[in-house]
């Protein structure tokens, strides 16, 4: 089966390409390198021992999307491509709405034209919004999103639902990620956020490597185990394997799955685990809460286990070890 992976040089995309290749899928990569480096391709090829066709195209250009489908007999698409920084999306909403929606619609329209119907969408737990629950299950549906990035994910999910309702020859799988972290055990690929990291784990990496002085922990007065925020951190390799399972096992129709560990871990618990596993002290200070943050949420991952035979295998210790291994191997 030939799979087009859009955003295939990005953090989650690159790890998914590795797992697809290991499962003997033929992979085509499209990436405009807005949030990825071309050197990631040679690292993926080193890990897998395979070569991959790369289209360095902006998928907002529909002609370019058609060219990819004309060049290759694509059987399925895994769609990662899209801007994904929450803070940036608040500052630049039009950039997020135009890029994320146009790329998704272009892909779907060209798939329709070339009669390709198997589509896996990279969505996010952020679509649940603040629904008053801490454990999210797929049947809860979407809530009120709190930033344009999250809203584009919710909008694309709605587009997919309407598309399927109009033509149920589509085979659509929506995967809602919780907090992707970690790196491939080789230390060759991992998370490379542009500039100062917004997310917790990449920030801890920069403090651990001395590039940033200390971690600001946004609030310790939440109603949680130790007052700090609680999240469902999922190792990116487990997440990548979830996409392979979705490709192999998702039932026909439109199906939605949480991809998470099913467990909540607090910010302080993650920091303490990182320090213990890597024998490194992380300087931090408690500061005020970050606007928009929720106290606690994590996944109910039962549906993915029952229907796809998938669950996380990596531990928080694996996450901390693999993240630091990547950081050490990629000192910039
Ligand atoms: C996690 C916890 C912070 C940084 C976001 C997006 C979500 C998804 C994952 C794309 C919170 C605390 C963080 C720091 C801190 N992205 N924190 N100091 O906000 O749960 O989710 O990234 O799909 O859509 O919303 O992730 O890593 O930013 O925060 O104390 O410097 O760490 O308050 O409790 P978040 P995060």
> What is the residue-averaged pLDDT of the chain?
97
pLDDT, residue 94, reads 98
| Residue 149 annotated among the catalytic residues of the structure | yes
| Residues 73-87 pLDDT 10s | 999 999 999 999 998
Q: How far is the CA of 220 from the centre of ligand 1 (A)?
A: 14
- Is the CB of 317 within 6 Å of ligand 1? no
Question: Would the pLDDT of 332 be above 70?
Answer: no
**Rounded CA separation 299/233 (Å):** 10
Secondary structure of the chain: what % helix, strand, coil (to 5)?
A: 40, 20, 40
- What are the two backbone dihedrals, phi and then psi, of residue 180, each rounded to the nearest 5 degrees? -70, 130
| Residues 240-276 pLDDT 10s | 999 999 999 999 999 999 999 999 999 999 999 999 9
CB distance 149 to 86 below 8 Å: yes
- Is the CB of 123 within 6 Å of ligand 1? no
- In the block, tokens 């809460």 appear at 289
- Is the CB of 147 within 6 Å of ligand 1? no
Query: Which residue among the candidates 57, 83, 136, 149 is catalytic per the annotation?
Result: 149
Nearest CA, atom 15, ligand 1: 217
Task: Find the DSSP H helices in the chain.
Answer: 11-22, 39-48, 62-71, 86-91, 93-113, 148-166, 200-208, 236-249, 267-278, 302-308, 316-329
Q: How far is the CA of 97 from the centre of ligand 1 (A)?
A: 21
Question: Would the pLDDT of 195 be above 90?
Answer: no
- Is the CB of 216 within 6 Å of ligand 1? yes
Mean pLDDT of 43-55: 98
Query: pLDDT exceeding 90 applies to what percent of the chain?
Result: 97
């Amino acid at each position: 089966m030939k799979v087009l992976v859009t955003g295939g040089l990005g953090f989650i995309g690159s790890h998914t390409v590795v797992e697809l290749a290991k499962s003997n899928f033929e992979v085509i990569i499209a990436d405009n390198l807005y949030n990825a480096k071309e050197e990631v391709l040679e690292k993926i090829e080193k890990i897998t021992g395979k070569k991959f066709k790369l289209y360095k195209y902006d998928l907002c250009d529909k002609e370019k999307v058609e060219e990819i489908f004309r060049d290759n007999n694509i059987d399925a698409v895994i769609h990662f491509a899209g801007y994904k920084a929450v803070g940036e999306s608040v500052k630049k909403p039009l950039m997020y709405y135009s890029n994320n929606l146009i790329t998704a619609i272009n892909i779907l329209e060209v798939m329709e034209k070339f009669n390709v119907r198997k589509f896996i969408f990279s969505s996010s737990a952020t679509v649940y919004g603040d629904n008053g629950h801490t454990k999210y299950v797929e049947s809860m549906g979407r809530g009120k999103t709190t930033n344009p990035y999250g809203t584009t994910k919710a909008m694309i999910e709605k587009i997919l639902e309407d598309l399927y309702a109009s033509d149920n020859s589509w085979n659509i799988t929506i995967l809602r990620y919780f907090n992707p972290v970690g790196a491939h055990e080789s230390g060759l690929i991992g998370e490379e956020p542009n500039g100062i990291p917004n997310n917790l784990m990449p920030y801890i990496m920069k403090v651990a490597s001395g590039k940033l002085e200390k971690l600001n922990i946004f609030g310790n007065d939440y109603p949680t185990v130790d007052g700090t925020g609680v999240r469902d951190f999922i190792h990116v390799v487990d997440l990548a394997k979830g996409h392979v399972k979705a490709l192999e096992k998702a039932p026909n129709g439109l199906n939605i799955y949480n991809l998470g560990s099913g467990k909540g871990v607090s910010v302080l618990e993650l920091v303490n685990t990182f320090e213990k596993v890597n024998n490194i002290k992380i300087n931090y200070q408690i500061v005020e809460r970050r606007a928009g943050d929720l106290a606690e949420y994590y996944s109910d991952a039962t549906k993915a286990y029952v229907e796809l035979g998938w669950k996380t295998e990596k531990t928080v210790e694996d996450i901390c070890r693999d993240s630091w291994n990547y950081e050490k191997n990629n000192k910039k």
